[in-house]
Structure 1
Amino acid sequence: MKKLFVLFMLCSFAVFAEPININQADAETISKALTGIGPKKAEAVVQYRKEHGDFKTLKDLENVSGIGEKTVQQNEKNILFGDSAPAAAEKIDKPEKPEKPQEPKKPK
């Protein structure tokens, strides 16, 4: 049981990671906080941000060389764009279907 607990703790440390502000974090912080992004990709994120300005959406991150949709999806809960909630919470939901107008009831 003790071994299982230790194994669980070692495997799940990333689950408890704090979200980072992708527009303020340095390359070291990015590489430590995000899954699938090592030092080279993290440096590419910082360089892209310097050349093109702040990231506004998760889709913007896919413009960085070496970072694709899968990597972004794996990390969406840990990415902030400002002092707000994680990027995953900022996704734009599909608009709801408008309700059908009720037809007036015909008198009997």
Structure 2
Amino acid sequence: MDEPTGWRHMKSAPMDGSRILVTVRSSEQGGAEVDVVYWARADQFGIEGWRAADSHPGNIIGYADPELKCWMPLPKANTAGDSAVSSGMPEPWQGEDAEELFGSGI
């Protein structure tokens, strides 16, 4: 998680509204996954915090800080037209995680 171009600690995530990739921790609802989020200031649609990029008024998908493990910038678009380059989503970060989220999951 310490690579400059890989996953980074959430403490260093930009809170300027720009979109980033995050690893959402696994929980009782499912395994770890990658999502695109942005930091939103409090407004008439919700409180300040991380929101999924596909949120819209009336259907805000928000993440609490403990739900997010780490972040990375969005990959650059393939402007060279090289079809051999894969531009798929990265795998969620699978390193050791000492924190337990919302119970044991029995």
Larger relative contact order, structure 1 or 2 (CA cutoff 8 Å, min sep 6): 2
TM-score by length of 1: 0.25
- Structure 1 or 2, whichever has the larger Rg, is 1
TM-score by length of 2: 0.25
